[in-house]
Structure 1
Amino acid sequence: MRMFENYSLETLNTFGFKVSARYFVEAESVEDIREAIAFAARENVPVVPLGGGSNLVLSGNQEALFVHVNLRGKEVVSRDGETVCVKAGAGENWHEFVRWTLAEQAFGFENLSLIPGNVGAAPIQNIGAYGVEIKDHFQSLEALDIQTGELKSFSLDECQFGYRDSVFKNAARDHFIITSVTFSLDAELSPRLDYGRLRQEVEQRSQGSQSEAFVISEAVCDIRMEKLPDPMVLGNAGSFFKNPVVDESVLSKLQRDFPDIVAYPFEGRWKLAAGWLIDRAGLKGFRQGAAGTYNKQALVLVNHGGAGPDDVLGLAKHIQSVVFDRFGVELEMEPRVY
């Protein structure tokens, strides 16, 4: 394991901010992580796990040890007539993992294709798209306790999954580094095509020699690429705000003033489309210096070149203020700010 000092994180955060870490290490094993946290304890600096860098805002140079979790490996643990149990290292790229599961005839994550980031970050956020969340197929994960260096297994219940939420964003925040995740996927495909655009795209495609799962995956990829910018071209962290969840009384009031408001039923309440709110507030394609909202999807904040963390966070606060003044709805940032 090689330790670096004053290491640039510019290429390791998808906003492309020019910030650095006091210490940085590339961890390719659990033992590497143990060595890193022991070093951090001696130096009295916090430990920050880093995956794909796609769901965070680095607010400046970091007086911390950043551990780039690069634990790899994918395997089919077991298979029966109904389920396929698969396990992946935390450093595996999420999209590549999804495509691998489909090739292994393990279904359920095709709707989550092309979501940026790595496997280890997926449970923290309980990532989801097009009616599917990872909790739907989650079995367990292993995580290293930063204080003790011991591996702990977390069950579905222990992860306390919620909408873009988990115990790792709350009680267990900053206490664990996820090392591997195990999922229980379906041996037979049960397509989830509840969203009209996705169903339409799938129905229009000729399957040819591909399975329907790959057709769904590629339809999801095309839809995402159509409305989301490539961070290699235009720095961004994907969806910057959660879709706010409101009671029916709040939705009814909004519908009186905005009959075309976009909302979806969600666990007895209603999920509003944050992108629609930002768009209707007149902020789609809006620029504030070098930071702005993407002109094809208002939910995405972008770095047009040269924007720093203060620029993006300042823009985010402006959007939150304008949306609240217009609709009385609070937007919560999705990426974590360090």
Structure 2
Amino acid sequence: MAHSLKSLHTFALNSQCQNFVEITSLEQLKAQGFNAPFCLLGEGSNTIFLDDYAGTVIKMATKGITITERESDCLITAAAGENWHNLVRYLLEKNIAGLENLALIPGTVGAAPVQNIGAYGVELAKFVESVEYFDIATQSMVTLTNEQCEFAYRDSVFKHALKNKAVITRVNLAVPKQWQPVLNYGPLQSLKNPTPTMVFEHVIATRNSKLPNPYTLPNAGSFFKNPIITNKSLAALLGRFVDLPHYKYGDNHHKVAAGWLIDQAGLKGHKVAGIEVHQQQALVLVNHGQSQGPDLIAMIKHIQAVVLNRYNIKLEHEVRLINSKSECHITAENV
């Protein structure tokens, strides 16, 4: 039976799926048939349905948080359907600090390791002890260690070898008792002798000042990945664009700010139908309504083409795009 997807993803394009299932227990998950095509969904904050989906959308809504105190850390076990920000806030209320840089990132706990969410100098991978998932082929539960998750920048094994093969059920986080604030990114640098709550509140205030609320102005958060380029490429770019924000990424690479690239290319406010590059944060695309998948594709391709021509950098979209049957990728190569 057809089910509207507009309210199930925060970009809110008009689309529908053939079937929709909400999973609230492991027993229900194990009994679920995974006939192709199917799409796993959390809160839909990093997913956009470009077209009507000719399959089943399966939303993970399992709940539960447990805390186990250990000698030097606390083990946090959270179910996939828990809201990520609510988990960060809950732990802070329990005087368990460390995740506050990741406050207000939309989405669920189960989606967090897929994307290896990160913000303000901290990535989820730093805290993951293990991830538990349901193996669709073997109908069994599997646990992966941090190393086996193959975390990278906005990436993990769940986007590759385990894509459409694993349903994350629980995430186990090891949060050290000894709090070490990470303050080397952006506005956090101004904090003096901060407490975890101060960092938490500052991150929330900063995100709210830069990013529109997806529930009042539909969007999918940061749309493009911050490009990682070689030190040599960075030096060449700085010769032309001295104000380019950049951050060291390993020994031989730097990460540059995609939002700055888009902004300085004059794309703020650019519109395709009802889709617009946000006026305050160029890294965000917003949907004013009356828009369809092809409009968004046209916007993505235009931004990629302009950035490639101006900086010789290929932008990759961070948001997961779903067409009628599967996930798809729009790259500079097919601009």
Question: In the alignment, what sits opposite 1:94?
Answer: 84
Aligned: 1:310 with 2:294: yes
Query: Offset of 1:203 from its aligned partner?
Result: 3.7
Q: Given that residues 124 and 168 in structure 1 are in contact (C-alpha distance below 8 angstroms), is that contact kept between their aligned partners in structure 2?
A: yes
Query: Offset of 1:79 from its aligned partner?
Result: 2.8
Query: Offset of 1:147 from its aligned partner?
Result: 2.0
Q: Secondary structure of 2:285's match? A: strand
Q: How many Å separate the matches in 2 of 1:171 and 1:313? A: 26
Question: In the alignment, what sits opposite 1:157?
Answer: 147
Query: Offset of 1:107 from its aligned partner?
Result: 1.8
Aligned: 1:229 with 2:219: no
Q: Secondary structure of 1:332's match? A: coil
Aligned: 1:284 with 2:264: no
Q: Secondary structure of 1:230's match? A: coil
Q: How many residues align?
A: 321
Q: How many Å separate the matches in 2 of 1:156 and 1:6? A: 38
Query: Offset of 1:148 from its aligned partner?
Result: 2.4
Q: Given that residues 76 and 87 in structure 1 are in contact (C-alpha distance below 8 angstroms), is that contact kept between their aligned partners in structure 2?
A: yes
Aligned: 1:267 with 2:250: yes
Letter of the structure 2 residue corresponding to residue 334 of structure 1? E
In structure 1, which of residues 166, 180, 186 is the aligned counterpart of residue 156 of structure 2? 166
Q: How many Å separate the matches in 1 of 2:23 and 2:228? A: 38
Q: How many Å separate the matches in 2 of 1:172 and 1:179? A: 14
The alignment yields a C-alpha RMSD, in angstroms, of 1.3
Question: In the alignment, what sits opposite 2:318?
Answer: 334
Q: How many Å separate the matches in 1 of 2:254 and 2:244? A: 11
Q: How many Å separate the matches in 1 of 2:91 and 2:78? A: 10
Query: Offset of 1:113 from its aligned partner?
Result: 0.2
Q: Given that residues 149 and 157 in structure 2 are in contact (C-alpha distance below 8 angstroms), is that contact kept between their aligned partners in structure 1?
A: yes
In structure 2, which of residues 65, 69, 78 is the aligned counterpart of residue 74 of structure 1? 65
1:190-243 Cα distance to aligned partner (Å, 9 max, x none): 11111241132x449xx8xxxx11111110000000010001111110000000
Query: Offset of 1:105 from its aligned partner?
Result: 2.1
Structure 2: which 5+ runs fail to align? 323-335
Letter of the structure 1 residue corresponding to residue 90 of structure 2? W
In structure 2, which of residues 120, 124, 131 is the aligned counterpart of residue 134 of structure 1? 124
The residue correspondences of 1:291-302 to structure 2 (distance < 5 A) are: 291-302=275-286
TM-score by length of 2: 0.93
1:34-75 Cα distance to aligned partner (Å, 9 max, x none): 222x2x43xxx3221110101112111111111110010001
TM-score by length of 1: 0.92
Q: Given that residues 11 and 220 in structure 2 are in contact (C-alpha distance below 8 angstroms), is that contact kept between their aligned partners in structure 1?
A: yes
Aligned: 1:6 with 2:2: yes
**After the TM superposition, which parts of structure 1 deviate over 4 Å for at least 4 consecutive aligned residues?**
none
1:235-261 Cα distance to aligned partner (Å, 9 max, x none): 110000000000011011111111111
Aligned: 1:61 with 2:57: no
Q: Given that residues 273 and 290 in structure 2 are in contact (C-alpha distance below 8 angstroms), is that contact kept between their aligned partners in structure 1?
A: no
In structure 2, which of residues 110, 114, 117 is the aligned counterpart of residue 124 of structure 1? 114
Q: Given that residues 283 and 293 in structure 1 are in contact (C-alpha distance below 8 angstroms), is that contact kept between their aligned partners in structure 2?
A: yes
Q: Given that residues 54 and 117 in structure 1 are in contact (C-alpha distance below 8 angstroms), is that contact kept between their aligned partners in structure 2?
A: yes
The residue correspondences of 1:107-122 to structure 2 (distance < 5 A) are: 107-122=97-112
Letter of the structure 2 residue corresponding to residue 290 of structure 1? G
Question: In the alignment, what sits opposite 1:25?
Answer: 21
Q: Given that residues 33 and 67 in structure 1 are in contact (C-alpha distance below 8 angstroms), is that contact kept between their aligned partners in structure 2?
A: no
Determine what percentage of the aligned residue pairs are the same residue: 40
Q: How many Å separate the matches in 2 of 1:267 and 1:30? A: 39
Bigger share in helix = 1
Query: Offset of 1:14 from its aligned partner?
Result: 0.4
Q: Secondary structure of 1:220's match? A: helix
Q: How many Å separate the matches in 2 of 1:17 and 1:79? A: 45
Moved more, 299-308 or 110-119: 299-308
In structure 2, which of residues 93, 115, 119 is the aligned counterpart of residue 103 of structure 1? 93
Q: How many Å separate the matches in 1 of 2:317 and 2:211? A: 17
Q: Given that residues 227 and 256 in structure 2 are in contact (C-alpha distance below 8 angstroms), is that contact kept between their aligned partners in structure 1?
A: yes
Q: How many Å separate the matches in 1 of 2:128 and 2:318? A: 21
Question: In the alignment, what sits opposite 2:224?
Answer: 241
Q: How many Å separate the matches in 2 of 1:309 and 1:186? A: 44
1:256-292 Cα distance to aligned partner (Å, 9 max, x none): 1111111111112100100000011110122122111
Q: Secondary structure of 1:120's match? A: coil
Q: How many Å separate the matches in 2 of 1:21 and 1:126? A: 27
Q: How many Å separate the matches in 1 of 2:244 and 2:39? A: 39
